[in-house]
Structure 1
Amino acid sequence: MTETESKDLISGIGALLQIQRWLGIWRWSDGNWRQLKSIYPFVLHLPLTFTYIALMWLEVIVSDDLEQAANVLYMSLTELALVVKLINIWYRGEQALNFMNALDSYAKCNLPKSEDIQFWQREQRNFKRIFYTYIGGCTAVAVTGYSGVLFQDTYELPFGFYVPFEWRRRERYFYAYGYNILAMTLCYLSNCLLDTMGCYFMYQIAVLYKLLGRRLVALRDMPENVAVPELRCIFQLHRHIRSLTKQCEVLVSPYVLAQVVLSALIICFSGYRLVQIGFQGNPGPLITIAQFVAVMILQIFLPCYCGNEVTLEANRLTNSVFNTNWLMYSVSTRKVLNCYMEFLKRPVKLRAGGFFEIGLPIFMKTINNAYSFFALLINLSK
């Protein structure tokens, strides 16, 4: 494998990791300025992310009615999930780094054929398309929110939070507006990139199982004396991938759990806010909330889809074994394959906090819960 091919194997995440380092959500490599790098995330996020989220919740607490609280609650719940994600990646930063190194090592050492390399690179490009679509949607929400309030007759903040001074006057409005933009930009970028990282972990595990299936199917054209050594290699790789799957579950479990638990409420209050705004007056807030609801649905769909792909690709290995030329093998080799198929009966499922499996069923349940909460909220408001 050439050096260029080696770099292309992780091209779907290389630039993303560098951006995350500057945003304080990924570990810097050891080197100069070690102490500064260790405190950099806190120096960046304490005055912006955590203070901003605290002010959001303070606005919810001091609100006089449900309508005023709902204007802020949908976003404060979203940022509460961000707090869980930040704490998780800071606490498990070393594990996440080791996991990425293991993926990189696997890609460089276990793709012997050019078609496997091309397949891996194609999957990296597919993931980049997913990432660009998601980050583009999040950016559209932020830009629409930032610009929409500037065309209103009254002074309004893009995303509400408690401001400890009178800001509804021109000379002070832009102080609150500027802080709003800085804090929200850091929050939405951190949120999007952490979501993308969790999805990348699960996506690559699914790709590894898919590659394992390709290698099993390739045994169909091999004589037994060539297939048996390849089988030993496949068994070792499968054991390694199962180990990576457990590591992946540890890394993504807290963030998916927080996202799923809070997403129903977030979508519910976003829909309520959408009903409040209606189609009258300035369309800017209406477009912002509508985009936000769409992005929130995508945000919960992506990890559920990636987790579901892990389960599907792992289950397909049984069919891959059956499609080998096993009828022409000796009795001893067939017994080995039979034992392997018995091993494959143990399902591979990623779980969020030990409460539920990460997959498309939990996505549908979350959407149903969001609609139920929304209907209840509408009835209460009447």
Structure 2
Amino acid sequence: MQILSFNFLLYTICGMWRPIKWSSKCSKMLYSVFTCFSMYLLISLTLTQLLDIILVIDNVDDFAMISLNLLSLISVIFKAVNAIIRRDKIVHLIEILQKKPCRAYNKEDNDIQMKFDRLIRSYSIKYTSLASISATGSIIGGMLNILEGQLAYRTWVPYDYTSPLLFSITSIQECVTIIFASIVNVATETTILGFCLQICAQFEILEHRLQRMAKEKKKETFRISLNDASNETGKLSEHILHHLCIIRLAKMFNNVFSQVFFIQFFISLMVLCLTLYHLSSHMTFADIAPLIVYTFFLFLQIFIYCWAGNEVMLKSTGLSETVYQIDWILMPINERKDLLMIMKRSTRPIIFTSSFLVTLSLESYGSLLKASYSAFNLLQQS
């Protein structure tokens, strides 16, 4: 699998994506065990933090701080489960991109595809580096807690962890879980970004093919044979099928990740409110420095979703302008009607949504920030 190879490698590292090339039963079984172990780590830390909120916490500040980690872990579990149970659908998306009419036909198409592949890899590596900073800060904070004789992260465990062995095992388990959770987050965000940019690449390839077809048409003589006319009509029909394939691909992608969109936006709204509230009540640098880094990464996390969806929306509507700018006057009436069909469909942008609540666009990103600030003001006044 060449498309999004780096992104699926991240999924593989954290146990959520068995490589497709692995065909032996033994390797499949071993990786399934690794997947179960990864899910156990995520679920156990989530449950122990939830029990800590229910059984131990008795003040608002501790509740706000623990809820940040709890909500983030719930989001990670949803992303991990989505990658596992919808593996076949995700593989199908990759297969569509690697088959006709989406695959590159010639050097120009291949150059466009390679350009977007490099762009996806570059963005993914940069985003992974930024996420590593946030994860490293969290791990360092956990290590400092261990040196003070506390667990790495505040949880309620159903056993006495005061013995050195149990204390070490529990703390190491919590740190490993945070690392796995960070990788799942990065893998999901970069995979969604990657698929969105792959859809943008398909639109750019389609635009190039339409422009090339118009140039070839312009070079022809005005007197063409019947066979040549049918060939041109066939080429244009392929481009229409390509456009419909891109639309279906986007719809399938939205169906696979729509629940992730909703969970991410809903939980991010709550986490932003709690983070801003906690920042307003703790003014020492030691308290707010980790939260500032965490808040910045959370804003960036949501921005990735919205920017990627906005790029697809702009590309899908920009196709009509590209069609209009080609020399369609030289074409027969039936081909003009076909081009008009493409332009007409392009007036409806491709928008990634989850029900009617979440829309991936920069406008939604601004609305989320406004909603977070309003909720923060409400929390501060209460």
TM class by shorter chain equals 0.7 to 0.9
Q: Are 1:100 and 2:100 matched, yes or no?
A: no
Q: Are 1:208 and 2:213 matched, yes or no?
A: no
CA-CA distance at 1:182 after TM superposition: 1.1
Q: Which moves more between the two structures, 204-213 or 349-358?
A: 349-358
CA distance in 1, matches of 2:87, 2:362: 28
Q: Are 1:138 and 2:140 matched, yes or no?
A: no
Asked whether the equivalents of residues 321 and 341 of structure 1 are also in contact (C-alpha less than 8 Å), the reply is yes
Asked whether the equivalents of residues 268 and 371 of structure 1 are also in contact (C-alpha less than 8 Å), the reply is yes
Structure 1 residue aligned with 2:80: 86
CA-CA distance at 1:318 after TM superposition: 0.6
Which AA in structure 2 matches 1:49? L
CA-CA distance at 1:174 after TM superposition: 4.2
Structure 1 residue aligned with 2:249: 244
When residues 375 and 309 of structure 1 are mapped into structure 2, their CA distance, relative to the original with a 3 A threshold, is: same
CA-CA distance at 1:175 after TM superposition: 4.3
CA distance in 2, matches of 1:358, 1:255: 12
When residues 151 and 28 of structure 1 are mapped into structure 2, their CA distance, relative to the original with a 3 A threshold, is: closer
Deviations 1:196-254 (A, max 9, x none): 22222222112212221222233342216575443222112112212211110111101
Which AA in structure 2 matches 1:352? S
Asked whether the equivalents of residues 59 and 69 of structure 1 are also in contact (C-alpha less than 8 Å), the reply is no
Structure 2 residue aligned with 1:60: 53
Give 3-state SS (helix, strand or coil) of 1:83's partner: helix
CA RMSD of aligned residues (A): 2.6
Asked whether the equivalents of residues 56 and 72 of structure 1 are also in contact (C-alpha less than 8 Å), the reply is yes
Q: Are 1:15 and 2:6 matched, yes or no?
A: yes
Structure 2 residue aligned with 1:3: none
When residues 19 and 171 of structure 1 are mapped into structure 2, their CA distance, relative to the original with a 3 A threshold, is: closer
CA distance in 1, matches of 2:134, 2:29: 36
Asked whether the equivalents of residues 220 and 323 of structure 1 are also in contact (C-alpha less than 8 Å), the reply is no
TM-score (norm 1): 0.86
Which AA in structure 1 matches 2:381? N
1:368 to 353, 364, 370: 370
Structure 2 residue aligned with 1:76: 70
CA distance in 2, matches of 1:37, 1:179: 19
When residues 168 and 131 of structure 1 are mapped into structure 2, their CA distance, relative to the original with a 3 A threshold, is: farther
TM-score (norm 2): 0.86
Asked whether the equivalents of residues 275 and 295 of structure 2 are also in contact (C-alpha less than 8 Å), the reply is yes
CA distance in 2, matches of 1:160, 1:213: 54
CA distance in 2, matches of 1:375, 1:52: 31
Asked whether the equivalents of residues 21 and 28 of structure 1 are also in contact (C-alpha less than 8 Å), the reply is yes
Q: Are 1:262 and 2:267 matched, yes or no?
A: yes
Structure 2 residue aligned with 1:292: 294
CA-CA distance at 1:370 after TM superposition: 1.3
1:358 to 340, 357, 360: 360
Give 3-state SS (helix, strand or coil) of 1:50's partner: helix
When residues 55 and 31 of structure 1 are mapped into structure 2, their CA distance, relative to the original with a 3 A threshold, is: same
Q: Are 1:120 and 2:122 matched, yes or no?
A: no
Structure 2 residue aligned with 1:232: 237
